[in-house]
Structure 1
Amino acid sequence: MAADPEIVEALGRTDLFSGLGRKHLTAIASQARLVHHAEGKDITEQGGGAAGFHLIKEGNASVHVNGQDRPGLGPGDYFGEISMIDGQPRSATVHAETEMTTISIPSWSFHPILEEEPEVAKVLLKVLCARLRAVESAR
């Protein structure tokens, strides 16, 4: 499947994928699809299965962890990356506050890219380590 240049660009603007070159972004984008979510829908449920990654193209979502509100999400924000990478249950419930369109990558399409392209895994590890360091320094 050919990659949509708009999706390639959108993925490249995220901190998660910004360290990747065009070749790798195109490989990831070729597995992505646009998904429309109705207002009021729970896109992910905390503790639920790890279906994949979502980059918000249009719309707004609320986030809840253990019943507590977290900062909302809007265009350019993403969720589902942790479960997409580690295959573990979702760490939050994400609820569509408006109609939404996301660029979605199923985990079963992403894992082969990690296996075939070690550079992608290296970049993701660096981003996740930076996040961990930021959390630790805030304590």
Structure 2
Amino acid sequence: MTDQTYTSKKAAQAAARKEHGKDYAKRYEVQEVELGTNEWIIIEKEPVVTTGKPKKEAVPQPERIEQNGVKRPGPGKCLEVWEWLDENGNCMPKNLRPVAAEKGWNENNAQIELYQWRKFNGIAGRQAKAAK
């Protein structure tokens, strides 16, 4: 910046603030010329080079099918329940409970997924009772 020296650090800071505004500390710093000399100068800081984090590439999301106002779930436990229902067809919630316990699914969530699967496939109302 300049070769001018100041008698105190406070005076150097005041001069830098006057010349460069309140944000002088972002680009300039006040340093003592030599240790113990009590002479201060204002110098420009070295620019900080940051590499930053590399941006992650967007992972394409799988296309989710929508029918009757319900979207098929994405990967996870809910999709496992839907796949089981696709293979085994419509069932009663009480018949789904033991399967959920066996497969490690949350029983309440499996039941909710059953109702969403029914709505997705257009199955309305209660299941017909089996003939005796």
TM range (shorter): under 0.3
- TM-score (normalised: structure 2): 0.24
Higher strand share: 1
Choose between structure 1 and 2 for higher RCO, CA contacts under 8 A separated by at least 6 residues: 1
Higher radius of gyration, 1 or 2 = 2
